[in-house]
Chains A and B, each alone.
Chain A
Amino acid sequence: MTRLKLKKQLETPHVVSYILKAPSHINHHTKMKLTNLIALLSLATAVYAAPQSFDFKDPKGVNNAVFKLDAPLESINGSASGISGTVSFDPENPAATTGKIVVVAESLTVPNPMQNGHMHSDKWLDVAKYPEITFEAKSLKNVKTEGDVTTADVTGTFTLHGVGKEITAPVKLTYLKNKLSDRVPSLKGDLLVIRANFVINRNDFNIQKGQFEDKVADNIDLSLSIAGASAK
């Protein structure tokens, strides 16, 4: 392979040029060996490091968000299952993760039917007018990766009841390579499990702002446990 052909094909001109211009005591044969080795490493890294798109619409319906808020008689505990969205994740560069998770507001449910009706009504979440709750991740900071697990602080826009607010929350990303077939036997690919816990204040989202503070707490604990699939 000639010098020019190799440079064009590898698209790593700086590294290749440096080697080809190396001192003359390094013979031509050695220089070509080094160049080919770097070419192979570059190709391998390029294939492995490509960001993957993970789809969070769970065919098993297990993805959920859990919420909890205090009330005088007992705390109100509920969950939401209508979760979808897409996250772009690169196992070699987790800090570059971005994406958007969507929760269908009507899928929020609490065990008491009367409370459930109130929660969905126009006096509280108004699910008819604001059918979606979303979180759009913009950036990750304090990224730490150990094996397949990455922890970080994710910053993004959380939109609830028609109001968007920037929040930062701790998040844990677990990359499960080649595990999609364990969940869905007909598919091959990878899984990404995202877990996040954070607190929001309903007043920030105009949900009965300043009202019923003796009956329903302002702070709502949210916990997200979702798995996305990237099929190959």
Chain B
Amino acid sequence: MKRILQLLAVLVLLAAGTTWLATGANRGWTKTSRPNGTVDEVTGIMDQTPVNCFVAGVDFLGAAALTSGILAGASFFFRNKKQNQP
């Protein structure tokens, strides 16, 4: 159980770090939308209608680090299995 929790802690950190890097290594807040960005050809106005997206931010990394820390901390409540003596 100890090993499982520690492994989970590492996996959560790795997954969050990979996601953060893959979505642009954003050093701001997590974003779940962005402006459409198309320009109306008659008026020249840029469409700002939000379009769904996901860009992980430092709050996402922070939440992952916290989860990982909780899992790793919980692992210390479990003892290592005693190995059989020859």
Contacts and interface: CB of A to CB of B under 8 A. Distances in A.
B43 interface: yes
B32 A182 contact: no
Q: Is the interface of B mostly helix, strand, loop or mixed?
A: loop
B35 interface: yes
A71 to B, nearest CB: 9
Q: Please tell me the size bucket of the interface on B.
A: 20 to 34
B73 interface: no
A61 B46 contact: no
Contact of B47 (A62, A112, A182, A191): A62
A112 B29 contact: yes
B63 to A, nearest CB: 11
B28 interface: yes
Q: Is the interface of A mostly helix, strand, loop or mixed?
A: mixed
A16 interface: no
A74 B42 contact: no
Contacts of B43: 62, 176, 183, 191, 193, 227
Interface in B1-59: 27-35, 40, 42-50, 55, 57-59
A97 interface: no
Interface centre among A62, A64, A115 (most CB of B within 10 A): A62
B50 to A, nearest CB: 6
B34 A183 contact: no
Interface residues of A, number: 25
Contacts of A112: 29-32, 57
A72 B47 CA distance: 28
B32 A193 contact: no
Nearest to A64: B48
B31 A182 contact: no
A162 B48 CA distance: 26
Contact of B50 (A79, A114, A115): A79
A109 B40 contact: no
A8 interface: no
A60 B27 contact: no
B42 A64 contact: no
A23 interface: no
Given A111-B33, A112-B29, A112-B30, A182 B48 contact: no
B56 to A, nearest CB: 12
Contacts of B34: 111
Q: Which 5 pairs across A and B sit closest by C-beta, in order of nearness? A: A74-B28, A111-B31, A79-B48, A64-B48, A227-B43
17 contacts: A60-B40, A62-B49, A63-B45, A73-B58, A74-B28, A79-B35, A79-B48, A81-B49, A111-B29, A111-B50, A112-B32, A114-B59, A182-B42, A183-B40, A191-B42, A193-B44, A227-B45
